Chain A
């Protein structure tokens, strides 16, 4: 029978030309019969033959009368949402067509099941509206932590429809009335399969059992990948903690930011660089959130490590394409880090002991099943390493960093979940005996999630944070103390409505910044340093946003818009410049003063965003998005890497908000059985009003910083190719081509850079190949390899020298005219689990990491200065590398159950 139908599929294109010349009518029939019975009745009473498999139709109930309707239309309406096609052949036959793969999938799942597949009934068959869709929703929980699971997928196999649970573990799937074979997966959780017979919209909470091991011999599909396939927006990646922990990392420290840098389209300029560049954007265009609190500098030790505690993190979602409407303020990406709520059943913990840091995380109930806590901390003891250094200067240096994070979550009642998070990171770095650098991030956040009624949720968050740095110099003649800081707060509230094919998101947010732009004070009476105090900048950004995720069969569209308004508040002195002259210190004609809370400048931003996904078939889809984002805060830097003294400034009358346009288009393909998925995405970005530093700009402690900047435009285009394999040997291979160029747009020749022609941005790395793979040697051993290669980034190289007034002058003819050597690095790690019994209270593992396996001295920068050749001085080029050799390390990690 199956083959008959297959054969029919083949002839169909030839025969369907007859179209619907015959109009068969459904005869009078009983309500409540099965579709099989109805078909039999139709065949008896009409001159029509219907080709079908009874197993398709036996379970389908006909609960309303279709009498008098066209047979084809009636069948279509009964079978809606079930992936059937109905074709007319030979003027008398109707063929119900279904991709035979669906049956194969079903048969496979059933045959693979070890136990009998459970079946659940929802709703009353008597109320069933056959042929219509109903909603199944609920929350997916973890058995081990009793926390909601983010990103678990619930999938109706036969109709190839799936959704992932959201940040609160909630899922919502529309299913045609009838029976479905469902699969639920969560990475690190045992996959559940069950039948659902659903007749009315219902609620179903599911608890998944934790897998004893990260990856067993059973092939666990990485749901993060599935999810990315199913997500409507392109350029969205959820990174699970397990992926983060497996990646080989510097000093064996599991690192969220470094894991983000493994993704295609994400670059960094080198090892010790705080910040990363997403799709050719600057490092300041990334919004980094921890439980909705804004984090400005999530780095320890100038970027060697990120300051998020790996054990405290539940989930990381990274958006580099179309950014969901509830996030605003940054152009290139959003990194949304969520922390664990804490186990509400029993006390648990985990930690690690490494060469230079140790960490510990504890979680447990305060009120069982209601209120839970999580605390985590990490501290360095890296001084011993420095003390063993050969170099005197290094030996006299010292570095210490720590971070602390905590969270309390309460299920107030069935409909309210409240959580409060606190985070603090601190770094101190003392160079020799003179200079002390220190920086801190702090954040507190309160999140309230409310279920108003089924399908209507209200999410609110309130956060406040601070980022500050201090540089102190103790050399008496130059002693100084330099302080900089940014305070921020954010209130955000939005609603989610799910209704049939719509998911409406709408809300408001309010963000405030106070930038303490810097105070430099001499620290001794003899110090030659003069006191400088820059004016503070206070600003308020209000936002209103609305979007709707609409499912239209194979097409899903999310149109949305965000309106933002920026207001720079007084007290503020805005210098005025001669309009006929370029903006510089010498063209100041006066200043406009704005009093306390008076508005010094406003900007309004219209930020439409649209994302769409079209399913070409079961396995492939096309995604496209267009967005326009505004950014009102800018990190001003004219150094190569983000340096400890870079500072954020607000937009003002002269520094306009950056406006970013992004267009992206992607093709996604998930192979059927081989656990391979591939994607190709192309993107084009155009960013207006990018503040570029002028030739010779001096940015540090500059009051009217606009005099050091020139407006520029960024033109970024690229393509990302990615191949992901799951299974025992898993990993991702990606290649990214991107070109990130700038050009100044000023008519004033003196301010033009490279004559207003395009030049590569400081972090432009056109070719980037990344390979990261994991191989499960056995239950106890996991071997991982990372490889990263990227074009060297551009620098300005000198071309000529001359002597003037006894001073040797070097000319750097063009900005970014030379590239440093290609970057490439191979890292390996081996994870060894010390025991593997399911019910042990203590689970230990060793991570052996070899970073930079073949000891390449990658150039971090190239600089030029006179070198000595015997008696003679010659100009020479030098490369500065951060890692000079292979770097092995070992970390012991443990879990207390």
Chain B
């Protein structure tokens, strides 16, 4: 909002002076990347738990140059990863895919009040350790709330309105001492696409090019020919930092603005949310990230260094990124539908391709659907 304010204040937008006020500039910041990044958590939900190891990217380098998506580029393979609790129990994490390490299905399960330390040894012999994380208790979720809202916004200098649903959680009352929480969620909805209408350009002409999955035989019944990529389920994850450190009482914590767009509310929308009780250190980590999400204007908070709880054993000055967390998790799942809307649900644009091409999409029907 503050940036909007400055833009309005600036004299560039005046009709006499049509040049823009915001211009891209090239700046030379010395590269300071390729630090080890640890992304992992142990919870009190049944395992397996996952630890992902990667190297940080240069700021100006896209994570993945070929996709409109952020996939980690430099994953750290062949590391030894284990978690040790304060009883001396050790759980070894095995690499299940490049850079992704997982505990065994019937292995360690996190317990409230127990402290956990992550140990990493890289292929080159470098050793890292997390600070001890003591899993805090979780007050639990009391309820959820869905509120209709509409917002005005500007796009291409025209005022437009978008509407949708504010999805909030209401945690149980905290006891007054400081407790730290983070929330994350996943939302699933069904999409229908039209791969049969897919075309390709042949010598300037658009010719039909339906992918084979448009008409595929069902293995059980050779006569039953169906489209296997017309209906998919898209599961979109939360990609922002939602944290709180106050004594919340019964107040709502807004998790997501579910916009009435692209068919998300034409049918039902499955919302799964986790409330994670985290340590003070984890809160401070996520809170800095939260601040980054609202930065950029001269009047916004200046960005600062992101802390980490991972240290190098040999070189205390080596910068390590990321966080290993121990969190107690309470979760909730519910369906949201168009009945909460005060306007008509907005359908999805016609998409002439395999529905699995969509981001976060699968044609395997989820168990809860």
Q: When the two chains form their complex, are residues B59 and A800 in contact, meaning their CB atoms are under 8 A apart? A: yes
A875: chain B residues within 8 A (beta carbon)? 59-60, 62
Q: When the two chains form their complex, are residues A586 and B241 in contact, meaning their CB atoms are under 8 A apart? A: no
B1-36 interface bits toward A, Cβ cutoff 8 Å, 1 = contact, 0 = none: 111111111111111011111111111011111010
- Within the complex, the shortest CB–CB distance from B144 to chain A, in Å, comes to 15
A805: chain B residues within 8 A (beta carbon)? 39, 41, 184
Q: When the two chains form their complex, are residues A389 and B15 in contact, meaning their CB atoms are under 8 A apart? A: yes
Q: How far is the CA of A398 from the CA of B146 in the complex (A)?
A: 35
Is there a chain A Cβ closer than 8 Å to B299's Cβ? yes
- CB interface residues, A 385-409, toward B, < 8 Å: 385, 388-394, 396-397
Partner of A864, one of B9, B240, B251, B296: B296
Q: How far is the CA of A815 from the CA of B303 in the complex (A)?
A: 8
Is there a chain B Cβ closer than 8 Å to A795's Cβ? yes
A524: chain B residues within 8 A (beta carbon)? none
What is the total of A-B residue contacts with beta carbons within 8 Å?
Answer: 271
Given the known interface contacts A392-B154, A880-B22, A880-B297, the answer about A796 and B284 at a Cβ–Cβ threshold of 8 Å is no
Q: How far is the CA of A770 from the CA of B252 in the complex (A)?
A: 55
Is there a chain B Cβ closer than 8 Å to A21's Cβ? no
Is there a chain A Cβ closer than 8 Å to B68's Cβ? yes
Q: When the two chains form their complex, are residues A803 and B22 in contact, meaning their CB atoms are under 8 A apart? A: no
Q: How far is the CA of A638 from the CA of B304 in the complex (A)?
A: 11
Q: How far is the CA of A393 from the CA of B154 in the complex (A)?
A: 7
User: Which chain B residue has the least Cβ–Cβ distance from A755?
Assistant: B317
User: Which chain B residue has the least Cβ–Cβ distance from A815?
Assistant: B304
Interface with B: A616-624, A712-720, A854-862, which one? A854-862
Partner of A865, one of B15, B296, B322: B296
B115: chain A residues within 8 A (beta carbon)? none
Please, how many residues of chain B have a CB less than 8 angstroms from a CB on the other chain?
A: 92
Given the known interface contacts A388-B14, A800-B57, A803-B54, the answer about A878 and B159 at a Cβ–Cβ threshold of 8 Å is no
Interface with B: A117-125, A180-188, A333-341, A883-891, which one? A883-891
Is there a chain A Cβ closer than 8 Å to B87's Cβ? no
Is there a chain A Cβ closer than 8 Å to B335's Cβ? no
A524-545 interface bits toward B, Cβ cutoff 8 Å, 1 = contact, 0 = none: 0010101000000000000000
Is there a chain B Cβ closer than 8 Å to A143's Cβ? no
**Max count, chain B CB within 10 A of own CB: residue among A432, A530, A695, A801:** A801
Is there a chain B Cβ closer than 8 Å to A167's Cβ? no
**Max count, chain B CB within 10 A of own CB: residue among A433, A807, A813, A883:** A807
Q: When the two chains form their complex, are residues B6 and A813 in contact, meaning their CB atoms are under 8 A apart? A: no
Partner of A863, one of B21, B70, B240, B295: B295
B159: chain A residues within 8 A (beta carbon)? 392-393, 396
Q: When the two chains form their complex, are residues A878 and B8 in contact, meaning their CB atoms are under 8 A apart? A: no
Is there a chain B Cβ closer than 8 Å to A882's Cβ? yes
Interface with A: B90-98, B187-195, B220-228, B285-293, which one? B285-293
B14: chain A residues within 8 A (beta carbon)? 385, 388-390, 394
**Max count, chain A CB within 10 A of own CB: residue among B23, B254, B319:** B23
Q: How far is the CA of A275 from the CA of B159 in the complex (A)?
A: 34
- Within the complex, the shortest CB–CB distance from A345 to chain B, in Å, comes to 43
Q: When the two chains form their complex, are residues A393 and B239 in contact, meaning their CB atoms are under 8 A apart? A: no
Q: When the two chains form their complex, are residues B70 and A884 in contact, meaning their CB atoms are under 8 A apart? A: no
Is there a chain A Cβ closer than 8 Å to B209's Cβ? no
Q: How far is the CA of A494 from the CA of B263 in the complex (A)?
A: 76
Is there a chain A Cβ closer than 8 Å to B268's Cβ? no
B207: chain A residues within 8 A (beta carbon)? none
A862: chain B residues within 8 A (beta carbon)? 25, 27
Given the known interface contacts A392-B158, A881-B21, the answer about A863 and B297 at a Cβ–Cβ threshold of 8 Å is yes
Q: How far is the CA of A389 from the CA of B15 in the complex (A)?
A: 5
A640: chain B residues within 8 A (beta carbon)? 298-299, 302
Q: When the two chains form their complex, are residues B4 and A804 in contact, meaning their CB atoms are under 8 A apart? A: no
- CB interface residues, A 832-887, toward B, < 8 Å: 855, 857, 859-865, 867, 871-887
Partner of B33, one of A270, A800, A818: A800
- CB interface residues, B 284-343, toward A, < 8 Å: 284, 287-289, 291-292, 295-307, 319, 321-323
- Within the complex, the shortest CB–CB distance from B69 to chain A, in Å, comes to 9
Is there a chain B Cβ closer than 8 Å to A698's Cβ? yes
B22: chain A residues within 8 A (beta carbon)? 878-881
User: Which chain B residue has the least Cβ–Cβ distance from A819?
Assistant: B27
Partner of B32, one of A641, A799, A859, A880: A799
Partner of B63, one of A429, A639, A803, A871: A803
Given the known interface contacts A807-B239, A882-B6, the answer about A802 and B298 at a Cβ–Cβ threshold of 8 Å is no
Q: When the two chains form their complex, are residues A813 and B32 in contact, meaning their CB atoms are under 8 A apart? A: yes
Is there a chain B Cβ closer than 8 Å to A477's Cβ? yes
Please, how many residues of chain A have a CB less than 8 angstroms from a CB on the other chain?
A: 96
Is there a chain A Cβ closer than 8 Å to B238's Cβ? yes
Q: When the two chains form their complex, are residues B239 and A806 in contact, meaning their CB atoms are under 8 A apart? A: yes
Q: How far is the CA of A717 from the CA of B12 in the complex (A)?
A: 36
Partner of A389, one of B13, B292, B299, B304: B13
Q: When the two chains form their complex, are residues B39 and A859 in contact, meaning their CB atoms are under 8 A apart? A: no
A886: chain B residues within 8 A (beta carbon)? 17
Is there a chain A Cβ closer than 8 Å to B137's Cβ? no
Q: When the two chains form their complex, are residues A397 and B8 in contact, meaning their CB atoms are under 8 A apart? A: yes
Is there a chain B Cβ closer than 8 Å to A202's Cβ? no
Is there a chain B Cβ closer than 8 Å to A697's Cβ? yes
Q: When the two chains form their complex, are residues B59 and A798 in contact, meaning their CB atoms are under 8 A apart? A: yes
- Within the complex, the shortest CB–CB distance from B73 to chain A, in Å, comes to 10
- CB interface residues, B 157-214, toward A, < 8 Å: 157-159, 166, 178, 184
Q: How far is the CA of A640 from the CA of B298 in the complex (A)?
A: 5
A777: chain B residues within 8 A (beta carbon)? none
Given the known interface contacts A812-B305, A861-B297, A881-B12, the answer about A818 and B29 at a Cβ–Cβ threshold of 8 Å is yes
Is there a chain B Cβ closer than 8 Å to A431's Cβ? yes
Q: How far is the CA of A812 from the CA of B321 in the complex (A)?
A: 12
A734-751 interface bits toward B, Cβ cutoff 8 Å, 1 = contact, 0 = none: 000000000000000010
Q: When the two chains form their complex, are residues B17 and A884 in contact, meaning their CB atoms are under 8 A apart? A: yes
Is there a chain A Cβ closer than 8 Å to B84's Cβ? no
Q: When the two chains form their complex, are residues B33 and A799 in contact, meaning their CB atoms are under 8 A apart? A: yes
A814: chain B residues within 8 A (beta carbon)? 305
Q: How far is the CA of A875 from the CA of B4 in the complex (A)?
A: 20
Is there a chain B Cβ closer than 8 Å to A301's Cβ? yes
Given the known interface contacts A859-B25, A864-B59, the answer about A802 and B11 at a Cβ–Cβ threshold of 8 Å is no
- Within the complex, the shortest CB–CB distance from B167 to chain A, in Å, comes to 13
Q: How far is the CA of A388 from the CA of B17 in the complex (A)?
A: 11
A874: chain B residues within 8 A (beta carbon)? 60, 62
Partner of B15, one of A390, A432, A693: A390
Q: How far is the CA of A393 from the CA of B157 in the complex (A)?
A: 7
- CB interface residues, A 107-162, toward B, < 8 Å: none
Q: When the two chains form their complex, are residues A877 and B26 in contact, meaning their CB atoms are under 8 A apart? A: yes
B321: chain A residues within 8 A (beta carbon)? 800, 802, 809, 811
Q: How far is the CA of A301 from the CA of B120 in the complex (A)?
A: 55
Q: When the two chains form their complex, are residues B9 and A796 in contact, meaning their CB atoms are under 8 A apart? A: no
- Within the complex, the shortest CB–CB distance from B120 to chain A, in Å, comes to 15
Is there a chain B Cβ closer than 8 Å to A302's Cβ? yes
Q: When the two chains form their complex, are residues A881 and B23 in contact, meaning their CB atoms are under 8 A apart? A: yes
Is there a chain B Cβ closer than 8 Å to A14's Cβ? no
User: Which chain B residue has the least Cβ–Cβ distance from A387?
Assistant: B15
Q: How far is the CA of A429 from the CA of B316 in the complex (A)?
A: 51
Q: When the two chains form their complex, are residues B56 and A801 in contact, meaning their CB atoms are under 8 A apart? A: yes
Partner of A697, one of B56, B147, B301: B301
Q: When the two chains form their complex, are residues B23 and A803 in contact, meaning their CB atoms are under 8 A apart? A: no
Q: When the two chains form their complex, are residues A808 and B239 in contact, meaning their CB atoms are under 8 A apart? A: yes
Is there a chain B Cβ closer than 8 Å to A643's Cβ? yes
**3 A-B pairs with least C-beta separation:** A884-B12, A799-B32, A695-B304
Task: Please list 12 pairs of residues, one from A and one from B, whose beta carbons are closer than 8 Å in the complex, sorted by A's number.
Answer: A270-B298, A388-B14, A394-B8, A800-B33, A800-B56, A806-B238, A807-B238, A863-B3, A863-B296, A874-B62, A880-B3, A885-B19
Residues of B near any A CB (own CB < 8 A)? 1-15, 17-27, 29-33, 35, 37, 39, 41, 54, 56-60, 62-63, 65, 67-68, 70, 72, 147, 149, 151-152, 154, 157-159, 166, 178, 184, 237-241, 245, 251-252, 254, 280, 284, 287-289, 291-292, 295-307, 319, 321-323
Knowing that A432-B154, A801-B57, A855-B19 touch, tell me 4 more A-B residue pairs with CB under 8 angstroms.
Answer: A437-B5, A799-B33, A810-B59, A879-B22
